[in-house]
Amino acid sequence: MAAHKPVEWVQAVINRFDEQLPVKTGHQNNHTRVSTEHNKECLINISKYKFSLVISGLTNILKNVNNMISCRHCHRLMGILINQIKSSQQSKDCLRLDETMLVKQLLPEICHFIHTYREGHQHAAELRASASGVLFSISCNNFNAVFSRISTRLQELTVCSEDTVDVHDIELMQYINVDCSKLKRLLQETVLKFKALKKPAQLAVINSLEKAFWNWVENYPDEFTMLYQRPQTDMADAAERLFDLVDSFAESAKRKAAVWPLQIILLILCPEITHIISREVVEESKANKKLFLESLRKALTGQGGSKQLTESAAIACVKLCKASTYINWEDHSGIFLLVQSIVVDLKALLFNPTKPFSRGAGSQNADVDLMIDCFVSCFRINPHNNQHFKVCLASASPSNFHFVLVNSLHRIITNSDLDWWPKIDAVYCYSGELRLMFSDTLSRVMQGLHTHAPLRLTSSLSFKEKMTTSLKFKEKTTDLDTRSYKCLLLLITLPSTCVYGSISSPPLRSPIHACLTLCETQSSTAELIAGLVQLVPLANTAQLSQEAMEALLVLHLPETIELWNPEAPIETFWDIRYKDMV
């Protein structure tokens, strides 16, 4: 059948996959789950040879799901289908999907899910992320199909007279796979049409291009590094022209605040200009770039005239610092001169424990993310300039600072892609302070579990959901305990992260493991293990308990036991009695 009737055979497998979706079978048992997984794998294998047939069939199911708004399984079902399409699309190697089918069938459906965010559904964000992943995969081999959709919408909006416009297709550029040549095309297309767009469309372009830039840098860091070794004239020309257009658009403080983050990125794309504007006197065509940087510095120190400009300056400067870490110091000095001119004031603004940085209600998560980006970037620029590290370690600092520190350490450990990024051993000298943070956070969590009944997990709020609750700088009891949960969970998971320390021959897995190598005593080793043991029996905090058990397993690896007390590892091992700790 497969040899003589491929269409019927593929359709039979797709029908079977459709029939076994949760919306049609209800609750799945082990047998149906295994069967569903088998069908998924079968479709992925078939898609290697009959990709168009598989994608066409799955797209039809996706269209039907789109009409099932009232179904309580809707988002789960959409997620399964989208992930299946993503897996199938990634499985093809040399086969290129016909772009007409992409435009007419799959692309509109995927774009619909990206554009549609159904409030009140807990899986909406996951669905959007999955759909974005599909679009990213599509754009890898079929960039023209997506670019055409973006370009067409830009052209339509240049002649649109309505004040309220649909910018969804413009926003697609932030989700697609962008290498150097594709980013250049986006910039050049934007230069041609930016001036004729209405303000909402201009703001959508500004926001989306910024994210497209980071897609490029994070997925093709070698290309960005090469840009500073061998500058590309056409890229710099497009970036400079767009900078001038955006600069003319920013005629008010509100507009300046909106465009500064993109403007700093456009300058970064012009290596020669970053070097030129560091001089005292520049030519007239570059004067607005120098004036922009001066305005940025003034706003960073609170002299910009408005809080909004100060916040935007902070965002732009963090992006400058982050981008500079992808450039080898030996390749170009101009951008590092810019970083050095703002980094002190930037850290003073973001890491001020007496006046924590905040952009107001609803921005807590974004503020924390900004601080983490700044922390990690500053570490990679100069790991020994650590005043902000000490501020975050201080017990008197807001709990958000502790959370930023632990998140930053986790990112430094788990993301060390570039050769010149410093390793985590630069912070091993703070092992004692990290142990104290672990002990203090553990005490707060245990106290919260025993004294605040509402903080215990209920059936309506899982621990995972509680961990994703928004952070607040105001020290309300529930917020403080939520932050403590998050901080403790990250402190526990650090030992499971594999890194290698330069101060000891055995593999070290985290800063907490490093604690065991520096003048470590038997009592501090026992204290660390005892804290983890306390968390194991906590049935109402399943995630903490599970991570604590995994951390204990890692700490009991033979090579780690030797670090418990380097002077007497075996004696320390036998002297620690868990029955006295529980």
Q: Which residues contact 233 (CB under 8 A, 6 or more apart)?
A: none
SS3 content of the chain, % helix, strand, coil (to 5): 70, 0, 30
pLDDT at 291: 92
Note the pLDDT tens digit of each residue in 486-536. Answer: 665 656 555 433 322 322 333 344 444 444 443 345 666 777 777 778 878
Matching residue, tokens 């992943």: 133
Rounded CA separation 397/437 (Å): 11
Burial class (CB in 10 A: 0-12, 13-18, 19+), 288: middle
Rounded CA separation 381/378 (Å): 5
Matching residue, tokens 């289908």: 81
Q: Which residues contact 104 (CB under 8 A, 6 or more apart)?
A: none
Q: Which two tokens stand for residue 303?
A: 């002299």
Q: Which two tokens stand for residue 468?
A: 């994703």
Rounded CA separation 557/444 (Å): 29
pLDDT at 456: 35
pLDDT at 277: 85
Q: Which two tokens stand for residue 380?
A: 């990679």
Give me the amino acid identity at 488. Answer: L
Rounded CA separation 149/246 (Å): 23
Q: Which two tokens stand for residue 286?
A: 């570059």
pLDDT at 498: 30
pLDDT at 210: 95
H or E segment and range at residue 243: helix 233-249
Rounded CA separation 516/387 (Å): 24
Residue 385 near residue 488 (C-beta atoms within 8 A)? no
Low-confidence stretches of the chain (pLDDT beneath 70): 1-4, 22-28, 65-104, 117-124, 331-333, 361, 448-524, 539-542, 577-582
Length of the chain, in residues: 582
Rounded CA separation 492/510 (Å): 10
Rounded CA separation 503/429 (Å): 11
Rounded CA separation 22/178 (Å): 35
pLDDT at 102: 61
Output phi, psi for 408, to 5 deg.
-65, -45
H or E segment and range at residue 424: none
Q: Which two tokens stand for residue 473?
A: 């700088």
Matching residue, tokens 């004036």: 291
Residue 356 near residue 473 (C-beta atoms within 8 A)? yes
Matching residue, tokens 């959508």: 204
Task: Name the DSSP class of 105.
Answer: I
Report DSSP letters for 376-390, one per residue.
HHHHHH-TT--HHHH
Give me the amino acid identity at 572. Answer: T
Rounded CA separation 124/131 (Å): 11
Q: In 3D, which of 8, 16, 17, 146 has the Cα closest to residue 85?
A: 17
Q: Which residues contact 425 (CB under 8 A, 6 or more apart)?
A: 501, 502, 503, 508, 514
Residue 237 near residue 285 (C-beta atoms within 8 A)? no
Q: Which two tokens stand for residue 277?
A: 């504007």
Q: Is 457 helix (H, G, I), strand (E, B) or coil?
A: coil
Residue 197 near residue 157 (C-beta atoms within 8 A)? yes
